[in-house]
Structure 1
Amino acid sequence: MDYKIVLFPIVREKIASIKSYIALNFSKELGDKVADDIISGISILKIFPEAGFDADLKYHIFDPRHKTRGITIMKKYIALYHIVEEDKKVVVTKLFSVKEDPIKLFR
């Protein structure tokens, strides 16, 4: 059975922001494609929720409620998420550029 993907509102906003930026500076078609590619990259977690890396270990992010994982998308973005096994859900909590400092996201 596939897992359900749940995107936090801030993740939806980030995807919309990326799409708008690319559409404004390049083309609407490219903005649409990049947004679709980000969603597709996240969607792999429906089938393989453990596909990502251990973000707790890599970024020293420790949330006592769950183990945080991360997945690199298109070599440009990282999505942080956790798995809720009992509900068969993958909850995506953050999306950021690989050029950003992830530690600043948690301050």
Structure 2
Amino acid sequence: QRQRESAAAAREQLAAAVASHGEALAAARLNHEYALKQVRDHASVDLTAAEHRYTANVAAARALVDEERRIMLRHSTGAELISEMVAKVESTTRLNMELQDKAKHERDRALVDGEARLR
């Protein structure tokens, strides 16, 4: 009789421990899902900001191209035109490279930030 009572008590304790573990697991899952949502939200905000900066940089590059066209129309001699065009092309090329580097850096930083937030 005593062994049965002891076994029943042990089963009850085991059932309680399993239930408690299940609750803890569910809570941990919810916390993880919330943290993941937070990271995604932050990454989305960071990406949107980077896209806005990129759009502004593209507008600046387009303004340079427009300036280049105005210069072409304004100059009368070929030598002046070529010199000015070379300078503008070099400037535009540098700007494009800088924009690409910035965009890559911001993407990499957003990924690192997102991974850090996950941890």
Same fold (TM over 0.5): no
Higher relative contact order (CA 8 A, sep 6+): 2
User: Which has more helix, going by share of residues?
Assistant: 2
User: Which has more strand, going by share of residues?
Assistant: 1
User: Over alpha carbons, which structure has the higher Rg?
Assistant: 2
